[in-house]
Amino acid sequence: METRATTEQTKSLPSLLQRVPAVAWVLLALIAFFAMLAPGFFTLGNFLNIAVQGSVLMVLALAATIVILTQGIDLSSGAILTFSGIIAVLSMQAGLPAPLAMLAGLLTGLACGALNGFLVSWALLPPFIATLGMQGVAGGLAVVLSRAGAIYADAPFFTFFGSGRLLIIPMPFVVAAVAYLCTWVVLYQTPFGSYIFALGGNEAGAALSGVRTKSWKFGVYVFAGLLAGVGGVVMAARLRAADPIVGVGWEFDAIAATILGGTSFEEGRGGIAGTIAGVALIAVLRNGLNVIGLATAWQAAVIGTIIIGAIVLDVLLKRKGILK
Amino acid sequence: MQETAAKKPAGLRLDLSFVYRFSRIFVLALLVTFMALVTPNFLTGTNTINILRQASLSAILALGETIVILTAGIDLSIGAVLTMSGIVGATVLKMDGVPLWVGVLAGVGCGALVGLLNGLMVAVVRLPAFIATYGTMWIAQGLAVVFLRGYIIYDFDKRFRFIGTGYFLDIPMPIIIMALVFGVFWFIMHKSTLGRSLYAVGARQETARLSGINIQRTLILAYTFSGLCAGLAGMLFVARLNAAEAGLGDSLLLPVIAGVVLGGTSLFGGEGGISGTVIGVIIMMIIINGMNLLGINSVWQGPVQGAIIIIAVILDQWGRRAAARQQVGG
């Protein structure tokens, strides 16, 4: 009996290795690579740094993941992040108490998400167009309201969420963890979560079996908008300022983290656990390239190439059955 | 006999598909009338030439975008590809002893190459178009910054600048080049099998495949053409500004897509065409130009363009559905 068990185990070792997502291998390779190249990389301080830098991206990537699970896409999350931060800071400058101002920021994200959801669910716009338009609207309004420059706020309650610590854990990380927990509960413990997977797997089938697909899809974009608002407020708290271009391009990182984390565009497959690895990959990449001193000019091109290269490789290897 | 009696007299019925088809010309006419009434400078010769010259650059981009959208795809990289091609072309133009046409060819070729890459990712790897082209958008933008190394490349040969600022028979060169590009596209769309294939692939990919159309080849060509157009527009842009910088194509993506949509090409593929796109782009340029003439701060361009895209798609779908319903109904 024992021998049989062992042979079965040895047999299944390769398939066990197959089951480790590619992103985990790439992540380990990257960490080893940067650790060898730069002595400052593999330190506790720097890992804390990466965690803080990755926190806002994590919140945004959670939003991207639930939207992509429904076979949608949100190209506006970076712009909503920017816009929400601007509204929060402007509200504080207008004399609103910090908690209320932050709430205003969150509500801004929620409202933008609701508009996205309306356009996708009831106006029947393709998600990439609805959210591309929203990117223009929210990003543009951020520029209009901030008069195209950075605006500042430093209420202690507000900045605590950016640079404060809970015990020893940095607040942005705490916020990301809470956001993860909430998303996890929604996705795996509520009917809403099952509908999200149903929308991505077979929307027509879900509709035929009586699921109110339009309302749930609307809900997905509202939730995604709210998360983008959370990201925007935390980002502004960290910088003690809101800047009209701070979120430019973040939606790409969030989408990339989702896809690298194994969530598929095709059939509502995947989930938020993989997205953590995707976010870690991008955060390590950005931090590592900084630490080894790659010129800033090169970073955008290199990171874009690595991300797209990884996505292409992932798709091709999966199709050939080399990866699961 | 009974049948004919049942039909309403044709003259009294408002033919919705007719209205839908010509709605963009109504919009254009309304817009021109409105602008002419509120701003005295609008209908002047200089401003009209200005709008058309501006529109011709965007229209070249939009023609490429149109054939991609006809295949039910999207090319989000055109603005960044324009920037990168313009900078690559400008760098080559500045090299000693290199003939001008090599520089132009380098820019256009660079655009086509990025377009080919997009096409391969969409057709062969089968990535969703908005992911593939969004990725190349950030890569192309990043590479443009790398190429520039923080400088601005400026001051080019007069003969090169002619394509951006010169006149031929009193017509600005960009307009002539745009007309030539339109001619080539018209030929492709109406006289070649590629044109039919583009529509077929966009309308019903499975049917297209069964009827023997090479889908991969069609898609790759569509994206390559789009990149090539972006490259050409990039070179024209550099010739006109007499400078190449990293923000060259920044604010072009939204108006170009808005122009295509206003021109009646369906984002779901297979419907629309290049003639509508030219009208759509001119509408977009009049709006942008009009906002300037009316003294509206340019920071409002972003929100307005975003809203126009959304409203245009909603109206277009609504008009299309209404026309289709009427046809089915009788």
Burial class (CB in 10 A: 0-12, 13-18, 19+), B2: exposed
A100 versus B266: the higher-pLDDT residue is A100
Tokens representing B1 are 């006999």
C-alpha B155: how far from its chain's center? 28
Tokens representing A98 are 């910090």
d(CA B207, CA A56): 45
The phi and psi torsions of A213 (rounded to 5 degrees) equal -60, -40
Place of tokens 């600005």: B172
B138 close to A (CB below 8 A):
yes
Question: Are A237 and A243 a contacting pair, CB within 8 Å?
Answer: no
- Residue among B268, B299, B317 with most chain A CBs within 10 A, to mutate: B299
A302 close to B (CB below 8 A):
yes
The confidence score (pLDDT) of residue B11 equals 52
At B293, which helix (H) or strand (E)?
A: helix B274-293
The confidence score (pLDDT) of residue A227 equals 96
Tokens representing B132 are 């593939």
The confidence score (pLDDT) of residue B46 equals 82
Nearest to B104 by CA among B250, B223, B238, B227: B238
pLDDT digits (tens, 9 = 90+) for B200-220: 887 887 777 777 778 888 899
- CB distance A316–B125 less than 8 Å? yes
- CB distance B306–A136 less than 8 Å? yes
Please list every residue in chain B whose beta carbon sits closer than 8 Å to the beta carbon of residue A139: 302, 306
**Mean pLDDT value of segment B18-30:** 79
Question: For A194, left (φ over 0), alpha (ψ -120 to 50), or beta?
Answer: alpha
- CB distance A144–B303 less than 8 Å? yes
CATH number corresponding to A21-319: 1.10.3470
Please list every residue in chain B whose beta carbon sits closer than 8 Å to the beta carbon of residue A125: 267, 310, 313-314, 317
| Helix runs in A122-249, H state only | 127-145, 156-163, 171-189, 191-208, 213-239
Nearest to A200 by CA among A187, A183, A182, A190: A187
d(CA B37, CA B43): 9
Question: Are B127 and A312 a contacting pair, CB within 8 Å?
Answer: yes
Q: How confident is the model at residue B119 (pLDDT cuts 50, 70, 90)?
A: very high
Question: Are B226 and B94 a contacting pair, CB within 8 Å?
Answer: no
CB contacts under 8 A, B 32-71 vs A, are none
The confidence score (pLDDT) of residue A5 equals 44
pLDDT digits (tens, 9 = 90+) for B65-96: 999 999 988 999 999 999 999 999 998 888 87
Tokens representing B67 are 């054939």
Amino acid type, B328: V
- Strands, E, within chain B: which ranges? 153-154, 167-168, 171-172, 243-244
pLDDT digits (tens, 9 = 90+) for A186-205: 999 998 888 888 888 778 78
Question: For B227, left (φ over 0), alpha (ψ -120 to 50), or beta?
Answer: alpha
The confidence score (pLDDT) of residue A55 equals 93
| Chain A residue closest in CA terms to B299 | A144
Amino acid type, A314: D
The confidence score (pLDDT) of residue B215 equals 82
The confidence score (pLDDT) of residue A104 equals 94
| Chain B residue closest in CA terms to A251 | B134
- CB distance B141–A136 less than 8 Å? no
The confidence score (pLDDT) of residue A220 equals 94
Please list every residue in chain B whose beta carbon sits closer than 8 Å to the beta carbon of residue A267: none
Select from B134, B143, B304 the Cβ nearest to the Cβ of A252: B134
Tokens representing A261 are 């984390």
B25 close to A (CB below 8 A):
no
Nearest to B153 by CA among B217, B239, B44: B239
pLDDT digits (tens, 9 = 90+) for A301-311: 888 888 888 78
pLDDT digits (tens, 9 = 90+) for B27-52: 888 888 888 888 887 888 888 888 88
User: Interface pTM (ipTM) of the complex?
Assistant: 0.82
Q: How confident is the model at residue B118 (pLDDT cuts 50, 70, 90)?
A: very high
**Mean pLDDT value of segment B129-144:** 89
Distances (CA, A) of B241 to A202, B101, B146, B244: 51, 18, 21, 8
Q: How confident is the model at residue B109 (pLDDT cuts 50, 70, 90)?
A: very high
The confidence score (pLDDT) of residue A280 equals 92
Domain ranges for chain A: 21-319
Counting DSSP H helices and E strands in chain B, the numbers are 14, 4
Amino acid type, B157: D
CB contacts under 8 A, B 224-283 vs A, are 254, 257, 261, 267-268
- Residue among B253, B310, B320 with most chain A CBs within 10 A, to mutate: B310
pLDDT in tens, chain A (324 residues): 444 444 444 445 555 555 566 778 888 888 888 888 888 888 888 888 888 889 999 999 999 999 999 988 999 999 999 999 999 999 999 988 989 999 999 999 999 999 999 999 988 888 988 999 999 999 989 998 988 788 898 888 888 888 888 888 889 999 999 999 999 999 999 988 888 888 887 787 887 877 788 889 999 999 999 999 999 999 999 999 888 888 888 998 899 899 888 887 777 678 888 899 889 988 998 888 888 877 777 888 888 888 888 788 877 877 777 665
Question: Are B281 and B181 a contacting pair, CB within 8 Å?
Answer: no
d(CA A209, CA A143): 45
**Mean pLDDT value of segment B304-309:** 86
